[in-house]
Every structure is written in structure tokens, then in C-alpha cells.
Structure 1
Amino acid sequence: MTTKSLSYILIIGILSIVSIYSGALIYFTWPISEFSIDKSGVFGDSFGLLTSLFSGLAFAGLIITILMQKDELALQREELSLTRDELSGQKDELRTQNETLRVQRFENTFFKMLEILDSCRKEIAYQAPNFPNGSTTYEGREAVRRLYEALSKRYFFNSITQNYSQQLVFAEDCNTSEGVNQRYTKFYNDHGDDLGQYFRTLYNIIKLVDRNFTSGDGLVYSNLLRAQLSRYELLLIFYNCLSSHGDKLTPLVKKYSILKHMEAELVIEQHQWLLDRWSSELN
């Protein structure tokens, strides 16, 4: 039974009791044969029972009022709880929208930088000697391939004359990390104008991914970047990371396994130990 129903019952009960008691009193005292102060006092005293009853009912009414206020407070608390839940849901929705916008802004920048990387790749040029016709200029991915061949054959090997013919002999200093760094530095000094912008753009793309994602969520983008790199780009990145020119790039390349699909057989035989060391550092 609700407090409101109890209040209606109490009011109806009070009216019924008053009516019944008044009717019975009049019934038993009617007709009134004499009006005097004494008689009036006796008649008034006859309502003492009702006075006590009303006092009790007043107390009951106070209790009912308290119960009604309790119900109202409970409703208010429920409304506040529903309001908090609604606000919490709005906050979650807003947080989701902000995250969606953040990812959209990141992806716009990421794919734009992939386009810039492709432009840098296309701008790479290499002039290969072509006797007796002078030289031939290669661009783009073919230039990258020619550059790696030049690095692995011309810079890591020495040309000597033996039996009236030119032969390539592996440079002994390239058996050490410092020797490889020095030889690659000479290669970079000769071709840095073509490769420098490419490596800087590559570094900034990986850095962008690393800055925007602290968990494995960034792997989908690093994997997408890795899929854009040719076999010879991976080899040049490998040697760049082994040198002092790749100090900033190397930790990111290792973190996101950019060289995961580098073909070991394309690394010159004398540098397989460098490849083994690189693999051990990843584990």
C-alpha cells in the first residue's frame, strides 16, 4: 500500500469516526431539554475522546508526512542516478567521438606522408657508368636497386688489378662495425642528396605512428608502411641503421619490425654476421 493511499484511508476514517460519534451523541442526547453552562460543559466533555483521537491521528499524520517525504527523496535520488547514468553515457559517447576524430586526423596525415615518401622515392636518381656511352640515369625503385648494388660492391669491396684485370676484393675493415660505418658514411656523403630526404621522411612517418599509439594499435599502420618498401629499400635501411646516420631511426625500425621481410640472401656473405646480430637484438 502506498503512502498516498494510506493518507486517503486516514482522512476518510477520520471523517467517518467524527460523523458516527457526532450522530450517536446527538441521537442519545436529543432532544435537549435544558441549556445551561453545566449542561454545556458536560456536552463539551463528551468530545474528549475525539480530542484524544485527533491527537493520535495528528501524530499519525506526521508519520505519514515523513513517509511521503521519504518517498519523494527516494524518487529524487533515483532521478539523480538516472541523470548521472545519462551524463556518463554522453561522456562515453563524446570520448568515442573524440577518439574517432583523432584517428581520422592521424590517418589523413599518415596517408599524406606515405604519398610524400613515394614522391621522395621517385626523386631518387643514380647515374651508372655505361662505357663507352658515358652513363645511364636510373630513377625511383630502379635507382634504389642500383644504389644498393653500388654500396655492396664498390664501397664494401676494393678494386685491385691482378693479371691485367680488375678484381673486387672484400675490404678487411668492413669486418668490423666501425669499418662498416665508415664505408657507409662515404657512400652517404656521395649519395646523401638523393637518400637524405627519403630517410628523414621515413623516420617521421614511423615517429608519427609511435607518437599516436602507445599499444599494438599502431602496428596496422607500421605494417602498411612496411608493405610499401621494396627489397632494396629494406637493405639500404638496414645499412643506414647500422651506421651513425641511423641513430634516431634504428630504435623505431626495431620496435615496429620494419625489416621483418628483408631477404637475408641479398645481404653480402661477408656481412651475414651483422644480420645475425641484428636478429639477436630483436629477441
Structure 2
Amino acid sequence: MSWFDLNPENIGYSGMAAATDGGQAISGIAAVSFSTLDWRIYCASIVLIIILIYCLVSVIRRVELNFGSYWKFAVVLSAVAGIYAAFFIMLLWDEPFGLIAEKMREGTFGDSFGTLNTLFSGLAFSGVLITMLFQRKDLFETRSQIAHQQIESQFYSMLGLQQEVVKNFDLQERDGLEVVSRGRDCFKHWAGWIPHFYEEAVGSHEERIADSVSSLIDKHKADLGLYFRSLYSVFRFIYGCNHVDRAQFGLVVRSLLSDHELVVLFYNSLSSRGEKFKKYIYEFALFDNLEVDLLVDVGDINMFDFQAYGSNRNILEMLIRSPSIR
């Protein structure tokens, strides 16, 4: 055996491996590659990374840093880094660790990441498009919310004006010196005038009711005309708006109507002057709290369909017992 035939095994270097690449000998640990590592090493590495992340999160919480929504970006960046690491290991799976540096200097190695870079470029562009769609949705929701707030503001403004009309009512004696009633209490006197005019009227029951309402309105046209127009405007606004709480708006207005106020509205809606108001009566069940004892005749409840009385069980039972009167 000549000097030129010697190799590491012949001269007793037990720490050298026989791995060669391109004529270069690779010794010891340098010959180890990702494929030769035990699977337990990979499992231990994953567990170690999880522990490090947990410790980092614990430190952040302990020092009470305002991490906010940045954790989402951290998760995305960690996922991207993990994908690149997995792709790197896959490319160098059988490459000895001692030759990794030289392998990375090759042009073909850098070109191998072109596919992955193109993939992430496409994902980034898709993310921009998705972000734009979410922004458009948020802008639409913001505009919708602003529109709803404007509707609410306008509704309560109109309701306030209508209540101000009622508040400014006053009934005086004929000599105009003494005030009999103010505000909503005036409706108690107006509701009491309807049976009085009814006794003086002639004809059928419906005709006498119509004459009674006409006489009442003619007697107090200035106050009642303004009241009916203002209340009609409020319900027309509620009926025409597209607010999600439109029904709740109707309940708010209905809750502000007194018992005698409902009686005046009841009989006014039976006249030709209040015909247009009927659809709002049915839409918002305006007579849900109607006191039938205040009517000229209890049977008058049959002049409206059951939708006008909402969930008033007493009135609904009366309608069931006497449907033929309606």
C-alpha cells in the first residue's frame, strides 16, 4: 500500500466519517444531516418552541403590556417563519450540515425559494383584497349606523315637539279668565264631551258618533287639529323609516298616550278626518291599552279589527264573543 492509498480508516482516525462530496471529506458531526436526526429531536424542538412562546406570553401579561390585537400579526409571522423553516429543511434534508453553507451559496438553492415566494406574494395580494373588502363592509356598517342614529335623533326630536304641543294645551271658561285644565288633562274633558254630543245627535249609532266627533273638533279645532296633525306626522315618520327598532319607536309613542287620549283618537279615527290614521292604528296596535269603559258603548270595539288591540286579552275575548256586531 502506497502513501497515496491511505484513507482515514487506514491511519486510525476513528472520529472521521467516510462521507465525501465533490472530493471533499466530511468528518464527524459534519456528516450529520436533517434526515439522520432522530424524530425525538424534532419533537423536543417543537416542545421547546412552545415553552418559549408560553414564557414570552407570560412575561408580557405579567408586565401588563398592551399587546392588543398585535398577537394576530405575531401568529401570522410565526406561521410564515415556520413554513419557510420547513421548506428550508426539506431542501436540505439529505445535505450534510458541513456542506449547508456551501450549498446555500449556490444559485439553484436561492431559486428553489422562488415558488414559495410566489405563493406568499399571491397570499399577500389576496390579503390586501380581503382587507379592502372588510374595510368596505366596515364603511357600509358605519354609514348605516350613522343613518340609524340620525333617524333616532329625528324621531325623538319630533316626539319632543309633539309632546310640547300637548303640554301647551289649556282649557278656559267661556269668559276666558279661569283655566279649567292644562296639558294632557284636557283630553279628559274632550273625551267627556263625546257622550254629551252623542245624546244630542240623531240617527243611527254610527251617524251619532260621527256627529259627536265632528262637534268636538269644531268646538276645539285649534288645539285638536294641531294635536292630530303632529301625532300623525310622528307615526308617518316611524312607518316610513327603515330603522331596525321601528316597532319600538311605535311602542314609545303608544306608552305616552293617556286613557282619555286614546278615546279621542278612537272616535276621531272613525270619522272621515281620521281615516288615514287607521293604518298606523293597526300597524302599532295603538289601542292595546284602551279602557273600554270610557267608550260611549262597549260594543264600539267592533268598529276596529282585532289587530288594533294588540295583546289586550279582555278586548280580544269580547270580540270573539260578539263577532257579528263588527
Q: Is the 8 A contact 1:156 1:174 kept in 2?
A: no
Residues 142-185 of structure 1, C-alpha deviations (whole Å, 9 max, x = no match): 211101101222x2112xxxxxxxxxxxx452512x54334322
Tell me the secondary structure at the aligned position of residue 90 of structure 1.
Answer: helix
**How far apart are residue 267 of structure 1 and its match?**
0.8
Q: Structure 1 length normalisation: TM-score?
A: 0.64
**Cα 1:212–1:113 shift into 2, 3 Å:** same
| Aligned equivalents of 2:152, 2:294: Cα separation in 1 | 33
> In the alignment, which of 87, 106, 128 is matched to residue 2 of structure 1?
87
**Cα 1:150–1:182 shift into 2, 3 Å:** closer
Tell me the secondary structure at the aligned position of residue 248 of structure 1.
Answer: helix
Tell me the secondary structure at the aligned position of residue 128 of structure 2.
Answer: helix
| Aligned equivalents of 1:280, 1:212: Cα separation in 2 | 25
Q: Which consecutive residues of structure 2, in runs of 5 or more, have no partner in the other structure?
A: 1-85, 311-326
State yes or no: 1:202 paired with 2:231.
Answer: yes
**Cα 1:187–1:179 shift into 2, 3 Å:** same
Hey, what does 2:283 align to over in structure 1? 255
| Aligned equivalents of 2:238, 2:151: Cα separation in 1 | 8
Q: Is the 8 A contact 2:169 2:223 kept in 1?
A: yes
Tell me the secondary structure at the aligned position of residue 181 of structure 2.
Answer: strand
**How far apart are residue 234 of structure 1 and its match?**
0.9
Q: How many residues align?
A: 217
| Aligned equivalents of 1:229, 1:86: Cα separation in 2 | 49
Q: Which consecutive residues of structure 1, in runs of 5 or more, have no partner in the other structure?
A: 17-57, 159-170
Which amino acid letter does the alignment assign opposite residue 156 of structure 1?
Y
Which amino acid letter does the alignment assign opposite residue 219 of structure 1?
A
Q: Structure 2 length normalisation: TM-score?
A: 0.56
Q: Is the 8 A contact 1:125 1:140 kept in 2?
A: yes
When Rg is computed on C-alpha atoms for both structures, the one with the higher figure is 1
Residues 175-198 of structure 1, C-alpha deviations (whole Å, 9 max, x = no match): 12x543343223222222111111
State yes or no: 1:97 paired with 2:133.
Answer: no
| Aligned equivalents of 2:256, 2:135: Cα separation in 1 | 40
**How far apart are residue 281 of structure 1 and its match?**
5.3
State yes or no: 1:77 paired with 2:127.
Answer: no
- Identity, % of aligned positions: 19
**How far apart are residue 83 of structure 1 and its match?**
1.7
Q: Is the 8 A contact 1:173 1:180 kept in 2?
A: no
**Cα 1:109–1:281 shift into 2, 3 Å:** closer
Tell me the secondary structure at the aligned position of residue 268 of structure 1.
Answer: coil
> In the alignment, which of 223, 228, 236 is matched to residue 264 of structure 2?
236
Hey, what does 1:164 align to over in structure 2? none
> In the alignment, which of 219, 222, 229 is matched to residue 247 of structure 2?
219
Cα-Cα RMSD: 3.5
- Which of structures 1 and 2 has the larger relative contact order (alpha carbons within 8 angstroms, sep 6+)? 1
| Aligned equivalents of 2:122, 2:137: Cα separation in 1 | 22
State yes or no: 1:175 paired with 2:260.
Answer: no
